Structure 1
Amino acid sequence: MDRRYGLTDMALAKADGYHLGARDPRTHPAKMPAIPTGTELKVLVGPERAAPAHTPLPPSSAELSVHGKRVPSLGCAGVANSELMGAKSPGGSAGDVPGNSDLVQDLNGKSFRVSMKDARVRAAFRTWSACMSEAGYRYADTMTVMADHRFQGKTSTPLEVRVATADVACKKRTNLVGVWFGVETAYQKDLIRKNESALAGVLKSKNAQLSVAAAANSAHSGNPAHSADPARSADPARAAR
């Protein structure tokens, strides 16, 4: 995880404080793709899901064809999701989300939260905090310094850069990251051991999803007729044009 233990790169600290440079959404907001509407939306999610909430649909509306191809009731996205998570993926369910695993995310968050409360990490925080105090800055831990309201503007400030460079220097001086990483790694290994069977199932499901996706990509790669088929297209919005 990016900056899991706070800012650790001195060059980045000197250049932009706690900001993310060209990656910072405050100064370089991501361009949102156009939201499909009308027929494009129906092709993507199916006629029923594309209808406004609480709008009853006449029976004929459940059937939709584009370029002579019938659009499945779940739409192209629904079919793709079902193929990835349903019968073609052992242990999968059509209601699941491709690529998602709550267990893995939960364990990832748990190891981080538990490690922050560990006595060894708390002691390292105190040593780091004392180092920061010597530099003229008072913070309890690395999370509070990054959350300082003075450093949340669109661009970094001279004060932010000074604090960030002191932060990184103190991390190195006190070996905070080394201690924290070692402690959390031990917790992670213990969680993996306790959840080995469940994680093996997650890995099996993920590999099955990747296999189905690779087969679909391989089958349709370089096939010009594929883009005209809304029931199978990798880009269903184009099929409606």
Structure 2
Amino acid sequence: MTSFPTPGRPKAAVVLATAAVLMAAGCSSSSPSSSGPPRAKGAAVVMPEVSSVPRLITAADRTLPIAPYLLSDQQSDELTAAQAKLTEQCMVRFGFRYTSPAPTPVFRPRTPTQFRYGVTDPKAAAVDGFAPAGSRTAPAPAEHASVSAEMTLVLTGTNDPHVKPGSTAAGGQVHKGRKIPVGGCVGEARARLLSEGPEAGGDAELPNAINIDSFESSRKHPLVRAVFAKWSQCMEARGFSYPDPLASTGDRAWRTRTASAKEKAAARADADCKMRNNVVGVWYAVDAALQRQAIEKNSAALDKIKKAIRVRVKIAAAVLDG
């Protein structure tokens, strides 16, 4: 079975904080500590002042400042489909009939912020526990058809296990009098879509890091720590002892195929205590303030990324329109 490179998925670590904990490796291609924030390593975060805090039960319909610099699900799907089409067209030039494997279906929240701050609906939590409906079980990876070594060479530019398929280090060979593109047909498709960088079609590293880092740093802000303390007291009164919402979400006891009665009770209490103490409103306000601060410091680089997204999506639309 041959493994083929595919475009990256957007919204790494904190699109779905709740399900990510329950599914272990389900949500992020890189942990908050590994991708690194857009500041000097080890530097302390300057906590912003937050002058206005909305009253929120859920943040599902709120956007975060970093959103314009990240791919939406629709944009990501369009880029994936365009890459597949361009790859197949390239393979035809080399005399191969090739169908790109369908993307593996994954759980997606309705919006990037729907579960960013954990469960927020007491009624849904009482039914599903801490994992939203459909997120508890990771889908099985799609089966890829076996292809010959000759076809793989044209597709990815290499048969060498030490060379990354589809990368700029692959390709350049001659197949039946025709030169294989850099990275093979996959590499050619990525280059056409301006997606040949390290993210390989996914989100750029800088906005992704800001998105992750603001979530992590927000938990250390005085306002968030204070509201977490109120939430913790509320949970204690319900019979659950946790220092903060991520501790309740990440309880190893919940890593089961189905939600237990105790998990459902804890999740319902979690959501109710959030609502009573405006945890989501405070957390969102601080998260957004940290992002605005990071965006201001990196405005020039982020402007280029936003422009690149517009160009990439426009190219993808033209490809899909034929």
Superposed CA deviations along residues 49-102 of structure 1, whole A, max 9, x for unmatched, are 234449xxxxxx93225xx9765353211101122228xxxxxx7666224300
Structure 2 counterpart of 1:23? 135
1:119–1:94 distance in 2 versus 1, CA, 3 Å:
closer
Structure 1 counterpart of 2:220? 117
Give yes or no for contact 1:63–1:73 (8 Å, CA) kept in 2: no
Whole-angstrom distance in 2 between the partners of 1:118 and 1:153: 32
Kindly report which structure 2 residues correspond to 1:193-232, keeping only aligned pairs within 5 A, or say none.
193-219=296-322
* Aligned counterpart in structure 1 of residue 293 of structure 2, from 165, 182, 190: 190
Structure 2 counterpart of 1:81? 190
* Aligned counterpart in structure 1 of residue 124 of structure 2, from 6, 9, 12: 12
TM-score in terms of structure 1 length: 0.75
1:168 maps onto 2:271 in alignment: yes
Q: Give 1 or 2: higher helix fraction.
A: 1
Does the residue aligned with 1:169 lie in a helix, a strand or coil?
helix
Determine which structure has more spread, i.e. the larger CA radius of gyration. 1
Give yes or no for contact 1:124–1:174 (8 Å, CA) kept in 2: yes
1:8 aligned partner, one-letter code: T
Cα root mean square deviation, aligned: 2.5
1:37 maps onto 2:150 in alignment: no
TM-score in terms of structure 2 length: 0.57
Whole-angstrom distance in 1 between the partners of 2:182 and 2:287: 46
Q: CA deviation at 1:16?
A: 1.3
**Fraction of identical pairs, as percent:** 32
1:209–1:15 distance in 2 versus 1, CA, 3 Å:
same
Give yes or no for contact 1:62–1:73 (8 Å, CA) kept in 2: no
Whole-angstrom distance in 2 between the partners of 1:207 and 1:147: 37
Whole-angstrom distance in 1 between the partners of 2:203 and 2:279: 32
Give yes or no for contact 2:173–2:180 (8 Å, CA) kept in 1: no
Does the residue aligned with 1:139 lie in a helix, a strand or coil?
coil
Gaps of 5+ in 1: 55-60, 87-92, 220-241
Structure 1 counterpart of 2:244? 141
Structure 1 counterpart of 2:57? none
Number of residue pairs the alignment of both structures matches: 201
Q: CA deviation at 1:187?
A: 1.6
1:42–1:145 distance in 2 versus 1, CA, 3 Å:
same
Give yes or no for contact 1:99–1:209 (8 Å, CA) kept in 2: no
Superposed CA deviations along residues 105-153 of structure 1, whole A, max 9, x for unmatched, are 1111121122110011000000000000001110000001111111001
2:118 aligned partner, one-letter code: G
Q: CA deviation at 1:218?
A: 2.4
